[in-house]
Amino acid sequence: MLDPEGNTTKRSLELLGYNNVNQVRVGKKIFLEIDGSSKEQVIEDVDKMCRKLLANPVIHNYEIRVD
Amino acid sequence: MLDPEGNTTKRSLELLGYNNVNQVRVGKKIFLEIDGSSKEQVIEDVDKMCRKLLANPVIHNYEIRVD
């Protein structure tokens, strides 16, 4: 998976003198405080939110965790 | 802590009809594959990277985890 931000960050770290960095991957973490009738309902809602707005399935992998 | 991206995301979800979202916070997760002589050395290096490039201490909280 392409990660332009990760590659740019790696090059910037190298320019700052950090040559011990083998790889950089950048992801986004979204915390949602959400009401739902059940854990399953919340997961279903959030999955739809991901496909509609929060993630671009073409270039992003996403994972849903319910605490 | 201000979270403009979180607030904008919440409003967008409401416009899509999701009124069960109480709060949205957006963070960045950076995965570094890095060589180091010890866990302590790696943490020290990464902390410096955070202060120099990866985070803005004025507006960001950051946490370092070594796996």
Position with higher pLDDT, A32 vs B60: A32
**A46 lies in the same domain as A57:** yes
Helix (H, G, I), strand (E, B), or coil: what is residue B37? coil
Residue B55 belongs to domain spanning? 31-67
Residue in chain A nearest B34 by alpha carbon: A21
**B42 lies in the same domain as B62:** yes
| Tens-place pLDDT, residues B9-64 | 999 999 999 999 999 999 999 999 999 999 999 999 999 999 999 998 888 889 99
**A67 lies in the same domain as A54:** yes
**A66 lies in the same domain as A37:** yes
Quote the pLDDT of residue B1: 59
**B23 lies in the same domain as B35:** no
Q: How many domains does chain B fold into? A: 2
**A37 lies in the same domain as A55:** yes
**B16 lies in the same domain as B44:** no
Nearest CB to A16; choose among B21, B35, B53 = B53
Instruction: Judge whether A35 and B22 are in contact, CB under 8 Å.
Output: yes
Instruction: Judge whether A13 and A24 are in contact, CB under 8 Å.
Output: yes
Query: By C-alpha distance, which of A43, A46, A2 is closest to A24?
Result: A2
**A46 lies in the same domain as A58:** yes
Confidence category of residue A58, pLDDT binned at 50, 70, 90: confident
**A66 lies in the same domain as A35:** yes
User: What is the nearest CA distance from A57 to chain B, expressed in angstroms?
Assistant: 17
Quote the pLDDT of residue A60: 82
